[in-house]
Amino acid sequence: MRHHKAGLHGQIEPDLFPEFVVVSEHMRSVIRTVQQIARFDANILISGESGTGKELLARIIHQKSNRRDKPFVPVNCGTLSGELFESKLFGHEIGAFTGAIRQTKGRFEQAHLGTLFLDEVSEISPLNQVNFLRVLEDGCLRRIGGEVPIKVDVRIVAATNKDLAMEVDAGRFRKDLYYRLQVIPMNLLPLRKRNEAIPHLVNYFLERFAKIYQKQRVTVSSEAMEYLISYDWPGNIRHLKNLMERMFLMAQGPVIGLDDFPEDFMVAAPEPVEKPGQESSDPGAPPFNSLPPGAVEPLRKARQRLEKTLILRALEMTGGQRARAAELLEIKPRTLRQKMSDYSIEFRRTGKRALAKSQEGGPR
């Protein structure tokens, strides 16, 4: 086994799960829970937004359990419904329905003595929930079209990106099934709430892609890393991984800087927030004291207001020359064009002077 930096992965083998970076108290707590309960066969319900690593955590639980040498079988419940759900989970006999030309074992039988991972478990229909609960309670199933009960021994690890308790209150999920699944509840915070892991993930992904594509490894500048850390990451770790792969393949030099970011990402990313007491890099930037005393506004709105003001000022200073204005703002012309569109900024020339204006409001 390779040596690895202390504190990055705790007791998790880096060769098996290198993306499961443990650099926060939250993730250390998750690992402690895994170490405590993995060897027992209690059902586990993992909650968290899409892309936070729920299946990866389920695989870690399986590898740490007494079932590690048996199958780990994943099922995406969001893609199954009705008879298709029961056929996938319980299997079917020959002639059970049109197209059933051979006997097929379902996911429960395939996972016998191992772990069955049910992703998007909240999407199981109410009708399918009834039969699914019966198998969990009895440990027996019947294939579609079959009469002989089949005994199965599986450990259930389920995952959801919804609040199952709220789904129960809304009548969309059975309460008895909910309690059966969440004997041990676990939660994975979104990446924006554990962004201290971002530098480690970025370095890992860049190193990994260098090996996969047999291309020289690149690094990320400090300014670019600040942008990555400040971004909200709606797609979480999966989102970050995809962006790093894209930027690695498109990189023109050994260091990825702000100018190398894809335009769609730069438009969506928030501006870096100045630290308390830090002077603005633009001495002519308008101060944030234009609000009434005691007034507070969201940081994103304040950043948008400042950005729009600076764009208008740059356009007026350059007579509406976008290329020159972009140079003053130290952004690419295409980024300036996109931001002008987002803020509804227009300008018209009157002699040698450009009159810039914008509609009220932030980006559309």
Positive or negative torsion for Cα 77, 79, 84, 87? negative
| Cα 358 from chain centre | 35
Given a contact cutoff of 8 angstroms between Cβ atoms, the answer to whether 180 and 137 are in contact is yes
The tens digit of pLDDT for each residue in 60-117 reads 999 999 999 999 999 999 888 777 888 888 887 766 676 666 778 989 999 999 999 9
Architecture of domain 192-268: Orthogonal Bundle (1.10)
Token pair belonging to 69: 């040498």
Token pair belonging to 214: 């047999």
Lowest mean pLDDT among 10-24, 200-214, 287-301: 10-24
Enter the CATH code of domain 25-189.
3.40.50.300
Q: Tell me how far apart the alpha carbons of residues 230 and 270 are, in angstroms, rounded to a whole number.
A: 7
| Cα 201 from chain centre | 13
Distance from the first to the final alpha carbon of the chain: 51
Positive or negative torsion for Cα 120, 122, 126, 130? positive
Instruction: List strand residue ranges (DSSP E) for 163-263, in order.
Output: 184-187, 219-220, 255-256
The residue among 323 and 257 whose pLDDT is bigger is 257
Neighbours of 16 (CB within 10 A): 13
**Mean pLDDT (the chain, rounded):** 80
Cα dihedral 31, 36, 41, 45, rounded to 10, equals -40
Instruction: State the pLDDT at residue 272.
Output: 41
Query: What is the pTM assigned to this prediction?
Result: 0.67
Burial 264-295, CB ≥16 within 10 A → b, else e: eebeebeeeeeeeeeeeeeeeeeeeeeeeeee
Given a contact cutoff of 8 angstroms between Cβ atoms, the answer to whether 94 and 51 are in contact is no
pLDDT-derived band at 330 (thresholds 50, 70, 90) equals confident
pLDDT of 8 strictly over 70? no
The tens digit of pLDDT for each residue in 213-233 reads 999 989 999 888 988 988 889
pLDDT of 332 strictly over 90? no
Looking at the chain, which residues constitute the CATH 1.10.10.60 domain(s)? 299-358
The tens digit of pLDDT for each residue in 120-178 reads 999 999 889 998 999 999 899 888 887 888 999 999 999 999 999 999 999 999 999 99
Given a contact cutoff of 8 angstroms between Cβ atoms, the answer to whether 67 and 152 are in contact is no
CATH 2.60.40.740 is held by the domain 299-358: no
pLDDT-derived band at 2 (thresholds 50, 70, 90) equals very low
pLDDT of 280 strictly over 70? no
Positive or negative torsion for Cα 9, 15, 19, 20? negative
Looking at the chain, which residues constitute the CATH 3.40.50.300 domain(s)? 25-189
